[in-house]
Amino acid sequence: MPTQAAVLDALKPVQDPELQKSLVDLNMIRNVSVHQGQVKFTLVLTTPACPLREFIVEECKAAVQTLPEVTSVEVEVTAETPQQKSLPDRTSIPGVKNIIAVSSGKGGVGKSTVSVNIAVALAQSGAAVGMIDADIYGPNVPTMLDLEDAVIEVQKHPTGDILQPAENYGIKLVSMGFLIDRDQPVIWRGPMLNGIIRQFLYQVNWGNLDYLIIDLPPGTGDAQLTLAQAVPMAGVVIVSTPQNVAILDARKGLKMFQQLGVSVLGVVENMSYFIPPDLPERQYDIFGSGGGAALTQELGLPLLGRVPLEMSVRQGGDAGQPILLSQPDSASAQALRDIAQAVAGKVSVAALTA
């Protein structure tokens, strides 16, 4: 019978494809047991949304099966999301492992839709997820998460009030939408905005989160600046349509984050092409094509994915049923799931590499 040590030896050459290090050396293989030729072990991934989960499991199984007298290999898969790197002069949020901002240069390109669906995909994979809707001009995340009528509780605390986030679909949410009258225009001056963003970061009962997703207002204003200067961020995702004007604005936003020392994880091209519901095999490039790819090539950044324009995405958003839940097999849901996995993978790799 193979021993535990022999199983670990056989697994030693199997590498994490992204970190390019042995799974054994990374302490990702645990609880190895061998009973009458039946090998069992736990594979601890670096994110529950690991894009290469199946591939890694298959590689592990194949490696163990090379040992003599092995009759079966059972792999239990779990995940431990690493903590993002800390930064001098930035205050992290206790219990929150990774902060990911979603930004766009132009309004209306689908930033909130992408943020919400990334959050849903991560929560569906088993991660603990929170969201800050910092879009003061259009706080529509509560609608998208069917939390429009949620009332957030305020707990009195000697060092300042603590907000209890609303919660749905496994996502904890605080939003400007909970604090302002929807029908009243609000003029936010820099210091006020600064204060509310800090409250959303530090005075919320977040508990333990693997990912905190922040939906920013469009553009390059006070909210972006406050955030970048307050917390250490795992990175920012830039959303754009393929249209030239949107791409130009996206480039500005992207450069601002780079100047502020925030890592840009990549670009999501949204509304990349239109899929008519009655002719799903057809595609129309309503906003042009190739803009996202050209931008990422020029700047040496990853294109995280292309999300088609589908009526069901808009309907899902309006109805408080994100497309990942309402039509999980649609082309846009698939694209958004892949994007969430790519983001999670990149964040973990950045946390674990020097």
Ligand X SMILES: Nc1ncnc2c1ncn2[C@@H]1O[C@H](COP(=O)(O)OP(=O)(O)OP(=O)(O)O)[C@@H](O)[C@H]1O
Binding residues: 105-112
**CB nearer ligand X, residue 81 or residue 117:** 117
Please pick, from the candidates 81, 84, 92, 112, the single residue that binds ligand X as defined by CB under 6 A: 112
Shortest distance (Å) from residue 106 CB to ligand X: 7
Residue nearest to ligand X (CB): 107
Contact indicator for 194, 96 with CB cutoff of 8 Å: no
Of 16 and 249, nearer to ligand X (C-beta) is 249
Instruction: Tell me whether residue 127 or residue 307 sits nearer to ligand X (CB atom).
Output: 307
Q: What is d(CA 78, CA 53) in angstroms, rounded to the nearest whole number? A: 10
Q: What is the largest CA-CA distance in the chain?
A: 73
Closer Cβ to ligand X, 29 or 109, answer by number: 109
- Which of 48/316 has CB closer to ligand X? 316
Min dist. Cβ of residue 24 to ligand X (A) = 42
Whichever of 47 and 140 has its CB closer to ligand X, that residue is 140
Tell me the one-letter amino acid at 80: E
Distance CA 212, CA 307 (A): 22
Piece in contact with ligand X (CB under 6 A), picked from 35-43, 71-79, 101-109, 181-189: 101-109
Q: Does 46 bind ligand X (CB under 6 A)?
A: no
Q: Which residues are annotated as a binding site for ATP?
A: 105-112
Q: Which of the residues 222 through 281 are near ligand X (CB under 6 A)?
A: 270-271
- Identify residues 129-148 at the interface with ligand X (CB under 6 A): 135, 138, 140
Provide the minimum distance between the beta carbon of 335 and ligand X in the complex, in angstroms, as a whole number. Answer: 9
The rounded distance, in Å, linking the Cα atoms of 109 and 132 is 19
Of the two residues 250 and 342, which places its CB atom closer to ligand X in the complex?
250
**Looking at 47, 113, 330, 348, which residue binds ligand X (CB under 6 A)?**
113
Cβ at position 260, least distance to ligand X in Å = 20
Shortest Å distance, C-beta 53 to ligand X? 26
Q: Quick one: which of 34, 63, 109, 196 contacts ligand X (CB under 6 A)?
A: 109
Encode burial over 99-122: b for 16+ CB neighbours within 10 A, e otherwise: bbbbbbbbeebbbbbbbbbbbbbb
> What is the smallest separation between the CB atom of 319 and ligand X, expressed in angstroms?
10
User: Which residues are bridge partners to 264 per DSSP?
Assistant: 236
Kindly identify the residues of this chain, within the stretch 296-315, that bind ligand X according to CB under 6 A: 307, 309-310, 313-314
CB of 58: closest distance to ligand X in angstroms? 32
Interface contacts to ligand X, rule CB under 6 A: 104, 107-113, 135, 138, 140, 218, 270-271, 307, 309-310, 313-314, 317, 332
